[in-house]
Chain A
Amino acid sequence: MQIRKILIANRGEIAVRIIRACREMSILTVAVYSEPDRSAPHVLLADQAYPIGPGPAVASYLLIDKILEVARESGADAIHPGYGFLSENAAFARACEEAGVIFIGPTSASIELLGDKIHAKERVSAAGVPIVPGYMGEDQSDARLATEAVSIGTPLLIKAAAGGGGKGMRVVRDLVDFPVNLDEARREAVASFGDNRVLLERYVEAPRHIEVQIVGDKFGDVVHLFERECSIQRRHQKIIEESPSAVLTSALRNEITSAAVTAAKAAHYENAGTVEFLFEERPDGSHKFYFLEVNTRLQVEHSVTEMLTGIDLVKLQIRVASGEPLGFEQSEIIARGQALEVRIYAESPSTGFLPSIGPLDQWIEPVGPGIRVDSGVVQGGQVSPFYDPMLAKLIVYSESREVSIQKMVTALSSFHVMGVETNIAYLMDILNHPLYREGKISTRFLADHFEHYQSSHDLPEEVILAIAADRLSPADQSGGALSNGRPAVYNLWKEQGNWRNFTDVSMTRSENGN
C-alpha cells in the first residue's frame, strides 16, 4: 500500500529526521506536540501539527488513543514511532494494526515476543545464536540453583527474572558466597517486582557492547547493515557509537552479523531492528559474543550505519512498511570508512551530570565535509524538564577511525552551545584519552577512567581576547536588540506553532495570548 501521509509520534531530533526523509519521498507529515513543544522544530517543519496534551509524556506523547485519533482526523495512513515513547509498545503497534494504520516497525507479535527477555533468548538460542551460559528454568529450589551455579562457574550473575535496572542483581565471585547472595537477590526481586524468581548467568567482566543493524521485509528477507560498537556508556547510557568496531576481525564480523540475521529470522522480524550482543575478550586472546536482546525500533545511533553504508534507514523503513521488498541483496550492502557519533546532552558534568534546563541562548552547529548534525533544537528554544536531555547527535565520517576521531574533536570544538550546560568538553576529553584512541574500550571504560571527571579550569588567553573582541564589536543594537545582541524579531508563526487543521484553534490562540 502506498503511504501518502505519516504521523510522527515523537519529538526532538528524531521527529525532525523522519520529517526530512518523508519530504524527500514526497510524503506529507503530521506532527503531534505537547504544550512546551509548541514551537519546537518538528512542529514547525511538519505539514500539519496537532497538540496532544501538557508537558509530561504520560499526558501527551504516550497517549495511544489520542495519537490514533489525530491519525484518523489528519488522514495519516502510517505512524512512525521514532525511538523511546511508544516505539516498543506492543499494545500501540496492535492498536495501529486494528485501526488500519500502518505501524512503521515490526509487527505487534514480534515486539511482544522480543520484549520478553527470557522468551527472546529461548527463541534465538533454539535457532543456534549463542547466549550467555546460564540458567533460566522454572525449578527455583535452592538445591537446583546451587547445582546450576556450580556448572556455570564464577564469576556468576544472579538477576531478578522479572527485573531490569540493576535491581536484584548480584555478582558472585566465590561460590561460597552464593547462598547469601541468592537470598539477597530474591528479597530485592520480591520487593521490586513482586516475583522472587531469579536467573543465573555467567558474568562477563568488562564486555564490549556490539550491536548489529538488521532490516527485514514482509517477504521474510532479512539483511544486516554491519555492526556498531557502543561500549562508551555512562550508567548504561550510550554516549559514543562507532562503526566498524575496532575489535572485530572480518571472520568475527561474519559470525556476529550472521547470528543477528538468524536471530531476526527466528522472530519473523520485519522492518528495522537492532540485535545487541555482549562481546567478551578473554585473557587467552580468544573472543566470544552472546545475544543480549533485540531492540525493536530505529535506534538513536542508526545514523552511524547510514554514514557507513550510504543507506537511509528511515526511508527503507517506510518502504518495507508499505509492503515493498528490500530491493537489494546482502552482497550489495557495502561498508566503507569509519563513522563516529557522539550524543550532545543538556547536562552538567561538573555537578554530577545533573540535567541542565533553560533557554538556548546560543546554538551554533559545526559544519564541514563529513560532518552531520541531527538536532531537534534551535537557538532561542527552550530545553524543558520533561524529556530526555539529548539535544543533538553529531556524526562524522572519514576513511579511518583515527581520522574520524580527529574530525570529531575538531567538530566539537566549533560547536557553540550556551544557556544550558552540555557534555561537549567531556566528550572531547574522552575522545582524547589514549586508551580510547587505541580502541581499548569496554562498557566499564567511563567508570574506570572518568568516574570523578572535572573539566579543565585553565583559562586560555584566547578566551580573554574573545571577551575584549565582544566589547570591541558589540552586537547590533538596532531593531530592538536583546541584551545578547540578537534582534527580537517577533514571528507569529514560530510563536503559535503550526496549527493548521487544528481541532481547537481558539484554545491555542488564547493560550498564546498571554
Chain B
Amino acid sequence: MEIDLIYGDEPVKCTVNGKNDHGVVQMADGSSHQISVNRDTRDLLTIDTGSQTFQAAVVTQGGKTTVSYNGRIYKFTSPEIARLATKRVSSGTLVAPMTGVISSISVAVGETVKAYQALAVMEAMKVMATLEAPFDGTVEAINFTKGQQVGHGDTILVIAPDPVPEQDGEKDK
C-alpha cells in the first residue's frame, strides 16, 4: 500500500506491505522498518518495531488522518484536500473558526467593507471570536443570523474583493 499524505506543507510518503498485522514499512528516505501491530477494542494501536514498542491512535475520516502519539496530535490531509484548502484561503469566504453561536453580525449583503473590519462575532463557552474582513470588498452573502449555531468550518460570510486588475489573471490559474 502507498501512503501519500500532507503534513503542514510537507508531503509524507511511505509504502507498507504485509498481512496479518505484520509488515514492512518502506520510508521515503529509503530506510525500512519491520512492524507488528495490535489493535485493541478501543482502537488503540500497539506497535512493535523490534527495537521499541509504542502506542498510538489513528482516526481517518474524509481524506483527513489524525494521529495521537505521545500526548500530541498530528494532522494529515490527502493531497486532494490540501489543494482545495489552498484555494479557499485566497477567497473571501469567512468560515467559523470554532463551533459556536453567532452573537452578532454587523454588516448586510451589498455593504462595502474595509480590510480588518469586524463583520461578525461568534461565541462558544463564553469565548468570543471576531470575524474580520480579509481585504477591502463587498459583502456577497451572509449564511447565518444572530443566535444561530454554526459548526466549525461553516461558511458564515462571503466577501467579494474590490477588483485588483493585476491579480485577476493569477486567480484563474
Which residues of B, 1-47, contact A by the 8 Å Cβ criterion?
Answer: 1, 3, 5, 7-8, 10, 12, 14, 16, 18-19, 21-23, 25, 27, 33, 35, 37-39, 42-45, 47
- Let me know if A141 is at the binding interface, CB within 8 A: no
User: Which of A354, A362, A417 interacts with B43 by CB under 8 Å?
Assistant: A362
Q: Shortest distance in angstroms between A378's beta carbon and chain B's nearest beta carbon?
A: 11
- Let me know if B68 is at the binding interface, CB within 8 A: yes
* Total A-B residue contacts, Cβ distance less than 8 Å: 158
Give the docked Cα–Cα distance between A424 and B73 (Å).
9
- Let me know if A470 is at the binding interface, CB within 8 A: yes
CB atoms of B59 and A362 under 8 A apart: yes
Interface string of A328-348 (1 = CB under 8 A from B): 000000000000000000001
Chain B contacts for A421, CB-based, 8 A: 73
- Let me know if A1 is at the binding interface, CB within 8 A: no
Q: Shortest distance in angstroms between B10's beta carbon and chain A's nearest beta carbon?
A: 8
- Let me know if A358 is at the binding interface, CB within 8 A: yes
- Let me know if B95 is at the binding interface, CB within 8 A: no
CB atoms of B60 and A484 under 8 A apart: yes
Interface string of A343-386 (1 = CB under 8 A from B): 00000100101111110011010000000000000010000011
Question: Quick check: which of B123-131, B136-144, B154-162 contacts chain A, the rest being far away?
Answer: B123-131
Query: Chain B interface residue count: which class?
Result: 35 or more
Chain B contacts for A475, CB-based, 8 A: 39, 43
CB atoms of B35 and A465 under 8 A apart: yes
CB atoms of A355 and B39 under 8 A apart: no
Given contacts A409-B71, A464-B14, 12 further A-B contacts (CB under 8 A): A348-B98, A385-B99, A385-B125, A425-B71, A425-B72, A462-B69, A464-B25, A466-B45, A467-B5, A473-B39, A475-B43, A483-B61
- Let me know if A486 is at the binding interface, CB within 8 A: yes
Q: Shortest distance in angstroms between B141's beta carbon and chain A's nearest beta carbon?
A: 24
Which residues of A, 442-501, contact B by the 8 Å Cβ criterion?
Answer: 455-457, 459-473, 475-476, 483-486
- Let me know if A219 is at the binding interface, CB within 8 A: no
Which residues of B, 78-130, contact A by the 8 Å Cβ criterion?
Answer: 97-101, 124-125, 127, 129
Chain B minimum-CB-distance residue to A412:
B71
Q: Shortest distance in angstroms between A346's beta carbon and chain B's nearest beta carbon?
A: 8
Interface string of A35-52 (1 = CB under 8 A from B): 000000000000000000
CB atoms of B47 and A469 under 8 A apart: yes
Q: Which of A354, A422, A457, A464 has the most CB of B within 10 A?
A: A464
Interface residue count for A (Cβ, 8 Å)?
Answer: 55
CB atoms of B37 and A357 under 8 A apart: no
User: Which of B7, B16, B57, B100 interacts with A357 by CB under 8 Å?
Assistant: B100
CB atoms of A416 and B57 under 8 A apart: yes
- Let me know if A206 is at the binding interface, CB within 8 A: no
CB atoms of A467 and B65 under 8 A apart: yes
Give the docked Cα–Cα distance between A431 and B97 (Å).
28
CB atoms of A463 and B43 under 8 A apart: no
* 22 pairs of residues in contact across A and B, judged by CB atoms under 8 Å: A351-B97, A353-B127, A355-B127, A357-B99, A364-B44, A385-B101, A385-B125, A389-B125, A421-B73, A455-B72, A461-B27, A463-B56, A463-B67, A463-B69, A464-B12, A466-B45, A467-B58, A467-B65, A471-B16, A472-B16, A472-B23, A473-B38
CB atoms of A413 and B71 under 8 A apart: yes
Known: A354-B98, A416-B57. A471 touches B1 (CB 8 A): yes
Chain B minimum-CB-distance residue to A385:
B124
Chain A contacts for B61, CB-based, 8 A: 361, 483-484
Give the docked Cα–Cα distance between A356 and B12 (Å).
27
Give the docked Cα–Cα distance between A413 and B72 (Å).
8
